[in-house]
Amino acid sequence: MPDLNDLDLNKETGISQDSYEPPSDFFRPDILPGEATFTRRGEPVFSLTKDNHLQTKMTAVPVGKTSTVDFAVFTTPSQFRSSTSADDYVRACGSIVGGRTVKDYRDAILMNAGPFNAVIKWVGWCKDCEEETIGAKRNQPKFPLGSDGVISHIGECPKCGAKIGAKPKISRYVVGGE
């Protein structure tokens, strides 16, 4: 151990006391709500849904960060737009799917590992209500802003009042041309 007398005692250490956060069951995610650039980590995991569409589970890391977000894309056509989440993902990576078969989609997803841009939202899973009750749907409350204007990662379940921690989730992909 170095002798304290050898150290520069004026060197800053620790934290700013204004920023102290007490220990808690809830970690503050370092992926904030809003748009960020991601790259994929690890290999995609493919399966088929009950109605024979391709489901792909993947993990992504924001550029320059270490925390990860899990997400899945599907070849099921959207009800609202001529697209699928698999197409949105591949196009956000700057490519397009070469055809309509399961193999075409699988190959396109394998070849495209990012970087891609996506918009993150924070959602809260209530273990008592066994559903996402914060931030997941338009009619649900979002995580609250603190008096300092910074979003809080702890919210109150609107149905049962339990405390819920925030989890980052991809809300949509950013496809060029927007």
Q: What would the x/- binding string for Zn ion be over residues 86 to 125, using CB under 5 A?
A: ----------------------------------------
Nearest to residue 108, comparing CAs of 118, 119, 123, 98? 98
Say if strands 54-62 and 34-48 run parallel, antiparallel, or are unpaired. antiparallel
CA dihedral 35, 39, 91, 118 (to 10 degrees): -20
Residue from 86, 157, 166, 170 binding Zn ion (CB under 5 A): 157
Question: How near is the Cβ of 135 to Zn ion at its closest, in Å?
Answer: 13
Quick check: 166 and 155 in contact, CB under 8 A?
yes
Residue from 63, 128, 145, 150 binding Zn ion (CB under 5 A): 128
Say if strands 163-174 and 116-126 run parallel, antiparallel, or are unpaired. antiparallel
* By the rule CB under 5 A, 43 interacts with Zn ion: no
Report how far residue 164's alpha carbon sits from residue 157's, in angstroms, rounded to the nearest whole number: 7
Contact stretch for Zn ion (CB under 5 A) within 45-53, 117-125, 148-156, 159-167: 159-167
DSSP 101: S
Residue with Cβ nearer Zn ion (81 or 127) = 127
In DSSP notation, 127-156 reads: TTTTEEEESSSTTSPPPPBPTTSPBPSEEE
Neighbours of 35 (CB within 10 A): 11
Contact stretch for Zn ion (CB under 5 A) within 15-23, 45-53, 103-111, 162-170: 162-170
Size of the site for Zn ion (CB under 5 A): 7
Residue with Cβ nearer Zn ion (66 or 139) = 139
Residue from 126, 134, 166, 170 binding Zn ion (CB under 5 A): 126
Residue with Cβ nearer Zn ion (40 or 169) = 169
* By the rule CB under 5 A, 70 interacts with Zn ion: no
Query: What are the residues binding Zn ion (CB under 5 A)?
Result: 126, 128-129, 157, 159-160, 162
